């Protein structure tokens, strides 16, 4: 288990150090950052593959992300349980980073790959996910506004 960049380059430092270096580098160039954290998963027979991303948005200048891929044994986890596990992974990273982000005045959002439309299956976990994320004091975003999970993590889950 290791964090990497989108190009596959392994991040050799602890993630807190890598995030702090990125913040220092970007703000030294006069760039305002926002961090969005999200996770997604895919079920592959005996395994559930997870991707968690830390997306750095540069105001009016694009962005970049750090990626963590993990897998666990599929013990027939329900969809709701899997959605909450995704949220839990995102909240865990947000919790690890929140003091650092506060110190540098970087806005943080936690994104959930859960649809706000009740006709979609993932909606079954919406209330719990929203309560979990907001209860931790983080800004909550769900689909269609949850790009860190529904677009970024979705593209890098194995």
pLDDT tens profile 140-153:
999 999 999 999 99
pLDDT at 76: 85
CA 52, 89, 3, 26 torsion: positive or negative? positive
Into how many domains does the chain fold?
A: 1
**DSSP element (H, E) containing 128:** helix 126-135
Instruction: State yes or no: pLDDT of 1 exceeds 80.
Output: no
Percent of the chain beyond pLDDT 70?
100
Range name among 71-75, 82-86, 132-136, 141-145 with the lowest pLDDT average: 71-75
Closest CA to 96 of 129, 59, 66: 66
Whole-structure pTM value: 0.94
CB 113 within 8 A of CB 153: yes
CB 20 within 8 A of CB 27: no
For strand 107-115 and strand 33-44, is the pairing parallel, antiparallel, or unpaired?
parallel
pLDDT band of residue 75 (cuts 50, 70, 90) is: confident
Q: Which residues contact 35 (CB under 8 A, 6 or more apart)?
A: 19, 54, 55, 56, 57, 97, 101, 106, 107, 108, 109
CB 51 within 8 A of CB 157: yes
pLDDT band of residue 132 (cuts 50, 70, 90) is: very high
Instruction: State yes or no: pLDDT of 158 exceeds 90.
Output: no
Please give the Cα distance from 32 to 136 (Å, whole number).
Answer: 24
What's the whole-number mean pLDDT along residues 20-47?
96
Please give the Cα distance from 50 to 72 (Å, whole number).
Answer: 8
Please give the Cα distance from 148 to 40 (Å, whole number).
Answer: 9
Closest CA to 66 of 13, 135, 127, 29: 13
| Domain hosting residue 79, numbered range | 3-156
pLDDT at 74: 85
CA 57, 66, 142, 92 torsion: positive or negative? negative
pLDDT at 10: 98
Percent of the chain beyond pLDDT 90?
89
């Amino acid at each position: 288990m290791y964090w990497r960049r989108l190009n596959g380059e392994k991040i050799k430092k602890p993630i807190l150090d890598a995030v702090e270096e990125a913040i220092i580098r970007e703000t030294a160039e006069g760039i305002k950052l926002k961090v969005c954290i999200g996770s997604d998963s895919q079920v592959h027979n005996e395994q559930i593959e997870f991707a968690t991303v830390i997306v750095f948005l540069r105001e009016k200048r694009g962005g970049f992300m750090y990626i963590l891929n993990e897998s666990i044994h599929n013990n027939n986890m329900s969809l709701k349980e899997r959605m909450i596990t995704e949220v839990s992974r995102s909240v865990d990273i947000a919790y690890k980073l929140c003091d650092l982000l506060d110190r540098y005045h970087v806005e943080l959002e936690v994104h959930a790959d859960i649809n706000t439309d009740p006709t979609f299956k993932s909606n079954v976990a919406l209330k719990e996910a929203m309560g979990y994320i907001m209860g931790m004091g983080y800004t909550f975003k769900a689909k269609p506004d949850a790009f860190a999970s529904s677009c970024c993590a979705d593209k890098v889950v194995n």
